[in-house]
Amino acid sequence: MTEMVFGTVPVRATDAVLPRWWRTIDKWALAAVLALFGVGMLLGLAASVPLAEKNGLPPFFYVKKQAFFGGIGLVTMLGLSLLSPQQVRRIGVIGFIGAFITLMALPVIGTDFGKGAVRWISLGFASLQPSEFLKPAFVIVGAWFMAAGQEVAGPPGRLYSFILTAVIVVTLALQPDFGQASLILFSWMVMYFVSGAPILPLAAAAGLSAAGGVFAYNMSEHVARRINGFLSADIDPRTQIGYATNAIQEGGFFGVGVGQGSVKWSLPDAHTDFIIAVAAEEYGLILVLLIIALYATVVLRSIGRMTLERDPFARIAGTGLACAFGVQAFINMGVAVRLLPAKGMTLPFVSYGGSSVIASGIALGFLLALTRTRPKNEIARILGNRAKG
């Protein structure tokens, strides 16, 4: 009867899993993610060779590692994109419990690799950063709490999500990892807003965040040094920001040429935090704009689909995942062009890093699953179009 009145619904229960997945997946967002991974491999061929030479390894050692971990990330993403919202919630909760326990155990089992922050677990052949995996799982759990709070006689989900957020943010700040802490807090604020919460508590949370930033500036020499360097009118050309800024200026519109860039030999984090500087120097503004367009495609299409979503959990979680993905990319690129103080945050699916690319695969897998076309959302779209007509 529904099909007779509203037209053909694109999802049919009799379809096999893969044809149904292909019919309902956001193909533009999927293509953009695959393109980002391809760009990451292209830049890895340039940015990771100096690091391999410095460490006495074969030239493409890190490129091969990135391809290996990237393959795991892509397979994970495609596998998770097959799930229903209910399955996403279950896996997200299980993943959150594991990531949260590991995060809390970092003071005992973690290492700083000489970087001054205990964020990693050494596995010998690789390292694991629990906060990377915590981010997508936190969004799922936070959305679950908020959606449950909207039910009749439901729990105070927004309060529970706030308490959980506060615990995680404080734990990350103590590592210290203010970049990941700010991203977790931002994700919660987005989900809180989307859940229909009043604006006053949101403004209060923003005020507390600002107060926390002032406290961190006064209490942490590391934070104060980064912020002072950001606010300084002069750029020390011997710092990472100095090298990155010079590389971006040298690149111009079309770049200095493939393999001709010099910043990758000067920046110790050229393959991770400052990969966009390598892109700007060797390929110019053209590639940078393409990268921005790919991120914008994923974020805007996902948010657009979420405006039609009828399930509160899927709507809140999908918006949170999309915004967190986009803001992480914005922070990484903003640091490189000195719009933001240094954060130590990777560019999703482009920067080198096993934890980063696999966690990004998990986040995008959840997002693609939640943004798949479902019958009730398609009916809502048709009704909305007919009402406008």
pTM value is: 0.88
- What would the pLDDT profile of 248-281 be if each residue is shown by its tens digit? 888 888 888 887 787 888 777 778 888 898 999 9
Q: Is the pLDDT of residue 63 over 80?
A: yes
Q: Evaluate if residue 6 carries a pLDDT over 50.
A: no
Domain locations in the chain as residue ranges: 16-384
What does the pLDDT read at residue 5? 41
Per residue in 149-186, pLDDT tens? Answer: 988 888 999 999 999 999 999 999 888 788 889 899 99
CA distance 78 to 33: 11
> Where do the H-state alpha helices sit in 81-198?
85-104, 106-109, 130-149, 157-173, 178-194
pLDDT band at 297 (very low <50, low <70, confident <90, very high): very high
Identify the bridge partners of residue 111 per DSSP, sorted by sequence position.
Answer: 120
- 3-class DSSP state of 14: coil
**Where residue 15 falls among pLDDT bands split at 50, 70, 90?**
low
Both structure tokens of 211: 């107060």
